[in-house]
A and B are shown apart, each in its own frame.
Chain A
């Protein structure tokens, strides 16, 4: 069995608002780079699946040569091989096409996992486009995955509830975060071993761009307004919090 996980190296997605600065419409290059938030959940899910099914696990990333050092974390967590497509585009269709080309170099694959959305562009569309290109089913927001006699049983988790689904054959799943897929802290000897794991570097193909032009990017500064809720009684506090959030239309 061969599982593929897709991941993207992004600039720090938790820079405090006042410190955040754009340069050429993107996060300033001085911010630390790291694996995307949901991508780490996807990697953790893939590793757990690999441990259960003894599958081979490959990671594919579209990005720059400099990203390899951050992708190594995935290798330390348990990914067997890293594939980097060297490219720069932010176009979802171009990225999907490059990912498809890389997937095809691997021969038959059984499952492709990706984070629910990238931590920089926040679109969550690439896995869907990729699934369509590969003619595979695409199911977003997956929490749990189980392999049952050649079939995949998955649980989709949305804001309102859960949906249990089953499908046969390969598919593309985007992974959401659940308590069970909190990314592990790689053990030290695995961090060193990861330095020796193979990294395949592929050249990108720059085709099929969407007919879009980016006119501007704006990141509003967040303002924090503090309101204390008395937590003497936990249940009452939870109720008050819920009411307040609903009143302010956050939920």
Chain B
């Protein structure tokens, strides 16, 4: 018997009429979300043309790929697949329901032939069964919650939502079974047939069908009305958030324009950073509203996983709760500690793991900026590094090593305006830290060998990146301006960096302050020289594992050039956490100058590298190198950590690694 809508139902129109207020409640719920989000500040974006409602440019590609398909979910295979079952299962069932409506309204022939058999019967049954499996998985997981869901708090409302979904699916099957039991079994409708044959006798089929129809319909309407008021709001907000997220990888902090401080009474100038919810932009409000409290960020956070007070989930859910309660102006410092805010290494692992495209480090950094620039609060060692940056333009206070030492007995040319092609930017750690100095020496050897036209600056200044990372944007801007002026005077156009932090600063932040350069990380430069046959070296019988620096990998997407070099110098083996899932060395976010509480992040990472049994632990960042060198002391007395430039230089004929 072909299916007939409203078969066996009297006054079915009542359900249709009920759908009208439900749609209004649904729309009102989302309108309420928008009212919450629009309380955020309009984003100050010089590129006004690209702004939509003061949030940011909308990227339809990201909306679909990161928002709808969402590959990140499947990094946790069980919950990813369960989520896929529920999401795509319900999407197919939703399509099926709409086809029925089209059939009622316009007579669309969906209940005929193969389409009925394969889609309306088999397809929808399969979608329903898979969705039900997903719902059961999620209910069980709520009963036995992993720590990431439980701490610091579990989100309420998921059990009701899963209960409603489960109810809809079960009643859907009973409904189908009753319909088939009253008529005849249908090819393809395997679940309905099973219920019809196994559980519903012919006698009660009609009455079961009627009662279940009403329950099923009412549950479905309740579910729809509940969506915007429940954690399920993420069905809409997550893809929207992905669409509005910054397309560049990693955290992009932008630069702050301090001119209003110059021109007006500085007491009146806008607040720097954030110390309450209302200081954030609409995009951050959208972040807070989208969070599903899944704790994936917390699980990968190097600070959290080494028992420090920071939890990125904790920060975001604190803000989400305030948003939902309308607590816009209450200071946050009772709930989010200063220690936690400075624990963040800005490694962006949380962003990478977040299934709903939230930018946690940006929120954390806004708090940090406020602590430093408005409240003068900073942990003591970081404060000393900042003071040193302010006084002598580098953060390595009290260092015994310097300019003269790193280039002792080396032939290093100075950059000459109009003559030299590349500026070899040494960076503060390579200048002032004895171990890191060897990276500079190795790179000079490589560049000399390859005959590259390069030069260094006579006087040295840091890029200002550590100040930025520690929240002192003002100091960063001052140092950056001085560098930009000097670069302009010398006509510098191409820069080779030895440190990913310098690379990140030049490419992302200097350009906003008027300094546009072609910047090339040293790994890519060496690879280029290798490809052009300007340097040649033979593979050595050595196993090398490579640690991805956060500012080169996750933040700038450079994973391959250093690996190509290491594969040429030896046999590359990977650590369990590598590339975009790499674990921070612990030194980012100014935490090179931190007095760590809890376990040491660098020791955890060094152990992971050591456990690969590699002969050499390579990296491409001086800070990572210093942190790993220190961390490795717990595992071995041998020196195993080296920069990629040192490893390449050691393979070059006539150049030794320790040069």
Task: State whether the Cβ of A211 lies closer than 8 Å to any Cβ in chain B.
Answer: no
Contact B400 A187 (CB under 8 A): no
- B491 located at the interface, meaning its Cβ lies under 8 Å from any Cβ of chain A in the complex: no
Contact A185–B404 (Cβ < 8 Å): no
Q: Are A189 and B392 in contact (CB under 8 A)?
A: no
Residues of A within 8 A of B267 (CB): 189, 193
Residue in A179, A188, A193 whose CB lies within 8 Å of B272: A188
Shortest Cβ distance from B330 into chain A, in angstroms? 22
Indicate the member of B380, B397, B401 with the most A CB atoms within 10 Å.
B401
Interface residues of A in 152-193 (CB under 8 A from B): 179, 182-193
Mark the stretch among B17-25, B193-201, B258-266, B651-659 that contacts chain A: B258-266
Question: Per-position contact with A for B369-382: 1 when CB-CB < 8 Å, else 0?
Answer: 00011111010100
In Å, the complex CA distance between A189 and B391 comes to: 19
Q: Which residues of A contact B384 (CB under 8 A)?
A: 182
Whole-angstrom CA separation of A192 from B392 in the bound complex: 20
| B392: contacting residue among A17, A34, A187, CB under 8 A | A34
Q: CA separation between A192 and B398, bound complex, in Å? A: 29
Question: Is the CB–CB distance between A16 and B392 below 8 Å?
Answer: no
| B contact residues around A179 at 8 Å (CB) | 380
In the complex, the answer to whether B391 meets A224 with C-beta atoms within 8 Å is: no
In the complex, whether B459 has a CB less than 8 A from a CB of chain A is yes
Q: Are B372 and A18 in contact (CB under 8 A)?
A: no
* Chain A 95-139 residues near chain B, CB threshold 8 A: none
How far is A189 from B372 in the complex, measured between Cα atoms in Å? 12
Determine which of A18, A186, A191 lies in contact with B402 in the assembled complex, contact meaning CB atoms within 8 Å.
A18
Contacts of A193 in B (CB 8 A): 266-267
Chain B residue nearest in CB terms to A224: B400
Residue A227 CB within 8 A of the other chain: no
Q: State A30–B404 Cα separation when bound (angstroms).
A: 14
Report B3 CB to chain A, min CB distance, Å: 70
A14 close to chain B: CB less than 8 A: yes
- Interface residues on chain A, number (Cβ under 8 Å): 26
- CA–CA, A230 to B398, complex, Å? 22
Contact with B along A1-34 (1 / 0, CB 8 A): 0000000000010111111000000000010101
Our pick among B398, B400, B474 for the contact of A222 (Cβ within 8 Å) is B400
Closest residue of chain A to B460 (Cβ to Cβ) is: A19
Q: Which of B266, B378, B387, B392 contacts A12 (CB 8 A)?
A: B392
Q: Which residues of A contact B472 (CB under 8 A)?
A: 185
Q: Do B266 and A32 have beta carbons less than 8 Å apart?
A: no
Q: Is B269 located at the chain interface by the 8 A CB criterion?
A: yes
**Which B residue's beta carbon lies closest to that of A179?**
B380
* Interchain CB contact under 8 A, A18 and B405: yes
Given that A12-B392, A19-B402, A222-B400 are contacting pairs, would A191 and B387 also be in contact in the complex, using a CB cutoff of 8 Å?
no
B392 and A32 contact, CB distance less than 8 A: yes
B262 to chain A, nearest CB (A): 7
Q: Mask for B381-401, Cβ within 8 A of A = 1, else 0? A: 001101110111100011111
Q: How far is the CB of A174 from chain B (nearest CB, A)?
A: 21
For residue B379, give the distance in angstroms from its CB to the closest CB of chain A: 11
A15, A183, A191, A222: most-surrounded residue (chain B CB, <10 A): A191
Instruction: Say whether A183 contacts B387, CB under 8 Å.
Output: yes
Q: Which of A12, A19, A222 contacts B404 (CB 8 A)?
A: A19
Hey, which chain A residues are within 8 Å of B391, CB to CB?
Answer: 12, 32, 34
Known contacts A188-B258, A188-B272, A224-B400, A30 near B459 by CB under 8 Å: yes
- In whole angstroms, how far apart are the Cα atoms of A15 and B374 in the complex? 30
What A residues does B393 contact at CB under 8 A?
32
Q: How far is the CA of A16 from the CA of B408 in the complex (A)?
A: 14
A18 lies within 8 A of B375 (CB)? no
A184: min CB distance to chain B, Å = 5
Residues in B whose Cβ lies below 8 Å from that of A187: 373-376
**Interface hits, B24-38 → A, CB 8 Å:** none
- Contact check, B383 vs A15: say whether CB atoms are below 8 A apart: no
Q: B400–A17 contact, CB under 8 A?
A: yes
Tell me whether A188 and B405 are in contact (CB under 8 A). no
CA gap between A15 and B396 in the complex, in Å: 11
Q: Is B415 an interface residue (CB 8 A)?
A: no
Q: Is B457 an interface residue (CB 8 A)?
A: no
Find out whether the CB atom of B474 lies under 8 angstroms from the CB atom of A18: no
Interface assignment of B403: CB less than 8 Å from any CB of chain A = yes
Given the complex of chains A and B, what is the CA–CA distance between A19 and B401 in angstroms?
A: 8
Pick the contact of A16 from B262, B266, B432 — CB < 8 Å? B432
**Residues of chain B with a CB closer than 8 A to A34's CB:** 391-392
Instruction: Map CB proximity to B onto A193-227 as digits: 1 under 8 Å, 0 otherwise.
Output: 10000000000000000000000000000101000
* Contact of B261 with A188 in the complex, beta carbons under 8 Å: yes
Per-residue 0/1 for B353-382: is the Cβ within 8 Å of any A Cβ (1 yes, 0 no)?
000000000000000000011111010100
Give B residues with C-beta under 8 Å from A: 258, 261-262, 266-267, 269, 272, 372-376, 378, 380, 383-384, 386-388, 390-393, 397-405, 408, 432, 459, 472, 474
A residues apposed to B, CB below 8 Å: 12, 14-19, 30, 32, 34, 73, 179, 182-193, 222, 224
What would be 24 A-B contacts, judged by CB atoms less than 8 Å apart?
A: A14-B397, A16-B400, A16-B401, A16-B404, A18-B401, A18-B402, A18-B408, A19-B403, A19-B404, A19-B405, A32-B391, A73-B390, A182-B383, A182-B384, A185-B372, A185-B378, A185-B386, A187-B375, A187-B376, A188-B261, A188-B266, A189-B266, A191-B474, A193-B266
